[in-house]
Structure 1
Amino acid sequence: MKKATINMLPKGILFDFDGVVVDSFNSHYTAWKSAFKELFDTEIIPFPKSCTGKSPLIIAAHFCSVIGKEEQAEALFFLKDNHLDINFTKPKVLPGVFEITNFLTEKNIPYGIASNATKLFLKNSIHHLNLNFTTVFGVEDYEKPKPSPEAYITLAKALGFLENDFNNIWVFEDSLTGTTAAKLAGMKPIGILTVHSEKELKDAGSVIAFPTLFEAFEYLNDI
């Protein structure tokens, strides 16, 4: 592993959830499909890459717009959340999650999650996967979800940081939506290559990018 080009550990690290900590695509898309089928008695379209990282209400609006039912977006949003809870399927932990959280705990570096996923899904996932995250914010906790910076500002303040600390906080993101949110918050977006290419993430504002959190852990351990 080459020597890190950032030569100081961050004051804090903030994590997106879906696509960074876990692979939850099947969990979410299965719930979208069953909720859409129940509400409209028709099959849903494939999940569009353009919706990655966006709030569930925006995703619901997109699915509804395809069949001209935009006014039903809120109903689909709540029904999908219900299906996600009732038919909860554990997501898959992505590489490096336990290594990096153990490292941060040992170094006394505060960390937490700010996601556009619902709070219930986050809490269920963390519980069933035995993940070491105690400070967690979901889409219900913000007036404006990502790409607004509110999610990451809310999390950073909950961890005890002031605004003049923000430029020393790393944010792990796999989506362009979340990368924009981190950048607007004045923090350092760090890309995870789950969905987008390194170029796409860097064009959106990522300082550096890694395949998974495991390579990011190695990078931090090399500083």
Structure 2
Amino acid sequence: MALPKGFLFDFDGVVVDSFDSHYSAWTSAFRELFNEKIAPFPKSYAGKSPMIIAEYFCGVIGKEAQTKELFFLKDEHIKTRFKVPKLLPGVREFTSLLSKENIPYGIASNATKQFLKNSIYHLNLNFPTVFGVEDYIKPKPAPEAYILLAETLGFIEDDFKDIWIFEDSLTGTKAAKSAGMIPIGITTQYSEEELKKAGSFLLFPTLLEAYQHLTAK
């Protein structure tokens, strides 16, 4: 089958399973700041920007005024106590295929740039173009992240309808749809039904099944 013109990837839940990496940093930062146990992570916050997540955790104990303080401390903990996330299936196969076919691709994530760079370095991944939450005025679910990445890769608006975006969250799926591109759901976080309702065009358990679908004779 003919391949799309470009492929854009979310990071957490698509390229890596990073829940433990992030939540351990939230937990240690929260304990340092408030000397209290952090609340469980709510599934509905998957894919949201770290500032919104920090606001949630602070809000649980009525400390919203310290949202920024928690955000920056968590970012510090994720650097100094970095926990390498787990690579999900199909990533290396996918990037090898796209490099071989000379198809532009990159990452646009609501995670911080430092976390993305550290993860890519430690996992030895081939993602030369990477954007994190600091690169946007409006993070996902706004479309800015994916529009910025697509334009950086050399695409114009007419190309957007032929660009696939791999997303595991409802937040990111909405961003992909708003950007006028094709959201492809990865069901590591949400069900097929939930992702389809948010706008996913196709659904796969991981990138490996998506890769197999695209390379099937």
Is the structural similarity TM-score above 0.5?
A: yes
Question: Residue 35 in 1 paired to residue 29 in 2?
Answer: yes
In structure 1, runs of 5+ residues without a counterpart are: 1-6
Cα-to-partner distance string for 1:200-223 (whole Å, 9 max, x where unaligned): 001000001000000000011126
Work out which of the residue numbers 14, 17, 22 in structure 1 matches 2:11. 17
Residue 141 of structure 1: how far off its partner (Å): 0.1
How far apart, in 2, do the equivalents of 1:72 and 1:8 lie? 50
Matched residue count: 217
Distance in structure 2 (CA, Å) of the matches to 1:37 and 1:124:
24
User: Unmatched 5+ residue regions in structure 2?
Assistant: none
1:128 aligns with 2:122: yes
Say which SS state the counterpart of residue 171 (structure 1) adopts: strand
SS at match of 1:209: strand
Alignment counterpart, residue 50 of structure 2, candidates 53, 56, 68 = 56
Q: Equivalents in 2 of 1:109, 1:206: separation in Å?
A: 22
Aligned partner of 2:160 among 157, 163, 166:
166
Q: How does 1:30-179 map to 2 (within 5 A)?
A: 30-179=24-173
Structure 1 residue runs of 4 or more that deviate by more than 2 Å after TM superposition: none
Q: Secondary structure at the match of 1:14?
A: strand
**Which residue pairs with 2:187 in the alignment?**
193
Q: What one-letter code is carried by the residue in structure 1 that aligns with 2:118?
A: N
SS at the partner of 2:95?
helix
Cα distance in 1 for residues equivalent to 2:130 and 2:183: 18
State the one-letter code of the partner of 2:107: I
> In structure 2, what is the Cα distance between the partners aligned to 1:195 and 1:137?
21
Show the counterpart of 1:216. 210
State the TM-score, normalizing by the size of structure 2. Answer: 0.99
Q: Secondary structure at the match of 2:164?
A: strand
Shift of 1:106: 1.1
How far does residue 44 in structure 1 lie from its aligned partner after superposition?
Answer: 0.1
Identity of aligned residues (%): 69
Is 1:8 aligned to residue 6 of structure 2? Answer: no
Give, in whole Å, the separation in 1 of the partners of 2:199 and 2:3: 19
Q: What CA distance in whole angstroms lies between the structure 2 residues aligned with 1:204 and 1:71?
A: 32
User: What whole-Å deviation, never above 9, does each CA across 1:53-98 have from its counterpart, x for those lacking one?
Assistant: 0000000000011001111111100000000000001101000000
The letter of the residue matching 1:198 is E
Shift of 1:42: 0.3
Where 1:113 maps in the other structure, the secondary structure is strand
The residue identity in structure 1 corresponding to 2:12 is D
The alignment's C-alpha RMSD in Å is 0.7
